[in-house]
Amino acid sequence: MTYGGTEQTNVSFGAGVAPWTPTPPVTPDATHDAVIVVPGIMGSALRDTTTGRWVWGLRDLRWVGAAWRHEDGMQPLHLDDDERSGRYDRIEATELLRAPVWAPFLKGIEPYDDLLDAVREVAHPKAVREFPYDWRLPVAVNGARLAEAAHEHLAQWRASEEHARARRSHPDEREARLVFVAHSMGGLVTRAAFAHAASQGSGLAPETRAVVTLGTPFLGSAKAAVILNGDRSGRLPARLRRRMQALSATLPGVHDLLPDYRCVDAGLDVHRLTPTDVAALGGDAELAREAQEFQQRMREKGPELPGHRAVVGVAQPTVQSLRLDGGVVHEQYISFERNGDGELARDRNGVPRRRDRAGDGTVYRDAASFAPTMGVTPLPLQHGALAKDSVAIAYVRAVLTEHDQALGPALGEGDGGLDVPDCVEAGRPWLLRLRPGPGSVLDTYAGITCTVHDAETGLRVATGRLGWHDGGIGAWITLPVPGLYRIRISTGGNAPVTQLVLALDPDDD
């Protein structure tokens, strides 16, 4: 008999023996592990259980502008006295975002549909669990909830008939283990889950194969201090700044994102933010103190993340440090270098050395990973797009299918970053700017395209004509009507860089 099956033989097959076929079967490149997807801050839809109303993350995008426009639009999200005392039953998280949303300072928060679809393509739907959580609450609280949910999910998947069939396709037919895919704050929640499990002796780490984090601020984000201060620079309408600042000042989750590294520029020295500093700039001193105590526990006794891979956004203009002046935060797009002993690196005059390390527009590059890790994958993407971009998702799929040793996205700094405002006025032109990545130069706009798309439908609504503006490359953009839009810059190299922008009604006070 030849392999092609051109010759016939009389062969009888016993019961349960499949007949020979000319083409051998191909096993799908999939995983039989249990996967948990953990979103970032503001990445879960929330419902008020006392009124039955959804207060964040509606699928109808018309609510986004209305929620921020009305004086009390964000009031249901404020932590009340009962919640401050530990009673957390008023708000429930229902699902991961299914439509883009927008918030001052954080710009656009992309939905998780593409990531979830990609995960389910390589894992049985029953093996995939979304973990929506109330991102307003302390990271430690959500971490404890995630630890419980992870144990429950793994036990249910292992007990299923689908798991029994799926594990037979694995080379050693081992039992399923856990894989966490976490975006932004979700990585902090995941790490807190491992810390909680370890304190309870419940052994989450031995049951976990890998953790993939996408833009997680393990060392915090200077942007959190800017949010708590209300960004006095005036680049956002005052009403939006005030409403976001008032909301954030009540939220432990935002205080948990404050930078846990020396970031306060004092001229010849660099300090950590103190609870007194946080109170002076508009935050809550008690919440800041609790956040710092939690961050210190994670820094000193926090567990390793099994099989940790960190996807880190690079090349985007990012706040990395701060200067405080009379309770006002001044953003600085530079970081401070350290020597091998961890102390500040200084020049011959004793001045701390400064360097622009950039990041993903929200998280400073060096804050998005911690040792030990199996690898850091830098991608030239904005923060929200790290959980949506096709290249980042391809990397997640590679980790899930256990072939990431040889596969993965193209590495490197990319061609440049995207600098756009948080919000603009509909019908009024504004300047979009391209920024070169650290150590690179943008000396031409040949081959670069700029398009504008409706965030809900994906339809192109405008094309930006790139040119030279004030010594840099940019394009004048006009968004036609109020709404949420996605700016897309394609360089023909790595994946396109995208960012959400909210267009406000110019007549809306």
Q: Contact 111/132 with Cβ under 8 angstroms?
A: no
Alpha-helical runs (H) found in 54-138: 62-69, 81-84, 113-122
Name the nearest CA neighbour of 161 among 124, 130, 122.
124
Q: How far apart are CA 307 and CA 400, in angstroms?
A: 11
State the pLDDT at residue 380: 92
Q: How far apart are CA 473 and CA 432, in angstroms?
A: 9
CA distances from 273 to 162, 289, 362 (A): 50, 10, 18
What share of the chain has pLDDT > 90, as a percent?
68
List, in order, residues 6 or more apart from 339 with CB less than 8 Å away: 345
Q: How far apart are CA 153 and CA 163, in angstroms?
A: 12
Q: List the chain residues with pLDDT less than 70.
A: 1-22, 231-234, 403-416, 437-441, 492-495, 509
Q: Is the peptide bond before 275 cis (omega within 30 degrees of 0)?
A: no
Tell me whether residue 30 is exposed, middle or buried, using C-beta atoms within 10 angstroms of its C-beta: 0 to 12, 13 to 18, 19 or more.
Answer: middle
State the pLDDT at residue 404: 42
User: Domains (ranges, CATH) in the chain?
Assistant: 25-221+274-318+359-412 (3.40.50.1820), 417-504 (2.60.40.10)
Q: How far apart are CA 186 and CA 153, in angstroms?
A: 17
Q: Contact 179/210 with Cβ under 8 angstroms?
A: yes
Q: How far apart are CA 62 and CA 89, in angstroms?
A: 28
At 501, which helix (H) or strand (E)? Answer: strand 497-504
Q: Contact 216/181 with Cβ under 8 angstroms?
A: no
State the pLDDT at residue 233: 60
Number of other CB atoms surrounding residue 283 within 10 Å: 27
State the pLDDT at residue 108: 84
pTM of the model: 0.85
Structure tokens at 128: 């995939």
